[in-house]
Amino acid sequence: MDNENIYDAAYSEAHIVEEGEVKNNFEEQHKKKNSKKKRGNGNGFAKYIAIALICSLFGGVVGSGITYVIADKGNNSTKSNNSVVTDPVSFATDNTALSAADIYKKVAPAVVMVSTKSIQSVNGWFQQETEGMGSGFIINEDGYILTNYHVIDGAKEVTVTLSDGREVTASVVNYDADQDVAMIKINDDIEVPGVVELGNSDALQPGEEVLAIGNPLSKELSSTLTKGIISALNRSVETESGVSSNLIQTDTAINSGNSGGPLINTKGEVIGINTLKASDGAEGIGFAIPINDVKDKIDSLSKPILNLGVSIRVVDEPLAKQLNLEEGLYVVEVNEYSPAEKAGLKSGDLIVKADGTRIKTFEELQEIKNSKEEGDTINIEFIRDGKTKNTTITLTSTSSTSSSESTTN
């Protein structure tokens, strides 16, 4: 085995792209980030330690999984933004700390199993269904559930198994692929068995006891409780996909299928979303997204994805000079029956303004779009055949992780 690739990842990619389907824009952004971030260290190479996304796949195509790695730029495979914690030490008292059994009774009813079905193309010749499994937790009585983006990435069907055994269908509401967070919602109007209480991840300190509830390895092991401590805070982990996040490191046992499940403090509050673990050969090294990093996004994640229905390529300054074009967003493809098609946009158009604001990057367009509600409009100024034109696009929502705007290389 190559010494520079110490472990193999235990996760096969859940994102599926059908024939003729454009990849999700966040995936493309990851690739761009990855191409920029992969640099050798001073001696010309970087060591890698594999990090596995902890979501299980079943059936489907047999083959190697995707390896997610973190670069060892120096002596460490992860970096801490703060070498020491300087906050005053505080300890939970008997009045605030619950037993593991009480925590389980409080939180487990709100923890769910998230099962997905995706279609995978094999060697470009045929397609095969792949099933995946992860975890999630209910955050309100309306049936909204937080989980990881990689759990539902590319899913064509989402099924939620509640703690009482009921199986219900769910839809993807919205997601932040960069942070690996997604919101799904139970489709039926039902009484949920439980709702979690969100804690304060900023108050955490290394050494504090934490617990995890999830569905490791298989459906037969659903609602498994494990216990450990916080090993470190503010871990900066860079995966092969190019995503960096400041994460909670824990030795609490988390395995494939735990993705999206809660990391819980001794008050029975959710203080993190389990997302990564060091793979084969490394025990007791798991990572969770701090819940405070997600709280501010809950409102926006609870709103549907607004869709223009275009695939674009960014025309930056060097490319603009090379092609004798203005900087902007080049329309590579317009989806059939999409809002963009209805507004008259065509392949080959160059978008230069949105609502009167000059735009040169995909993120600038997204920022304007994300300030809107379903049914709102965006005024688009674009160049076609050297002439400036204008159109108005009415935004619609989509529940797919692969049908909104995308970028191409």
What are the pLDDT digits (tens) for 257-310? 788 999 999 999 999 999 887 765 667 888 999 999 999 999 989 988 888 889
Entry pTM: 0.67
Q: Which of 263, 292, 267 is nearest to 276 (CA)?
A: 263
19-37 per-residue burial string, b: 16 or more CB within 10 A, e: under 16: eebbbbbbbbbbeebeeee
Average pLDDT of the chain, as a whole number: 76
Q: Which CATH superfamily is domain 305-407 in?
A: PDZ domain (2.30.42.10)
Q: Do 237 and 244 touch, CB atoms closer than 8 A?
A: yes
Please give the Cα distance from 305 to 172 (Å, whole number): 9
- 259 catalytically annotated: yes
Q: Determine which one of 15, 135, 180, 293 is catalytic.
A: 180
- The secondary structure of residue 88, as a DSSP letter, is P
- Active-site choice (56, 259, 311, 406): 259
Written as one letter, the residue type at 47 is K
Backbone angles phi, psi at 49, to 5 degrees: -120, 125
Q: Which residues, in sequence order, are CB contacts of 5 under 8 Å at separation 6+?
A: 48, 50, 67, 69
Identity (one letter) of the amino acid at 92? A
Q: Quick one: pLDDT at residue 246?
A: 85
Spatial CA neighbour of 152 closest among 139, 169, 167: 169
Q: Are strands 126-138 and 167-176 parallel, antiparallel or unpaired?
A: unpaired
* Token digits of residue 203: 């108050």
SS3 content of the chain, % helix, strand, coil (to 5): 15, 40, 45
Name the residue among 123, 179, 102, 189 with its Cα closest to residue 146: 179
Backbone angles phi, psi at 125, to 5 degrees: -105, -40
Q: Tell me: domain 1-83+95-303, CATH 2.40.10.120, correct?
A: yes
What tokens appear for 306 in the block? 């607004």
Quote the CA–CA distance of 61 and 54 in Å, as a whole number. Answer: 18
**What tokens were used for 303?**
């709103």
Q: 């039902």: which residue's tokens?
A: 190
pLDDT for 178 equals: 81
Residue ranges of domains in the chain: 1-83+95-303, 305-407
Q: Which of 342, 343, 360 is nearest to 351 (CA)?
A: 360
Whether 135 is catalytic is no
pLDDT at residue 42, rounded to an integer: 37
Which residue is catalytic, options 115, 150, 163, 241? 150
Active site residue 180: yes
Residue identified by tokens 């405070």 is 292
**Mean pLDDT of the region 357-381:** 90
271 close to 230: Cβ distance less than 8 angstroms: no
DSSP 141-172: TT-EEEE-HHHHTT-SEEEEE-TTS-EEEEEE
> pLDDT per residue over 59-97, tens digit each?
433 222 222 333 333 333 344 343 334 344 444 444 578
Band of residue 374 on the pLDDT scale cut at 50, 70, 90: confident
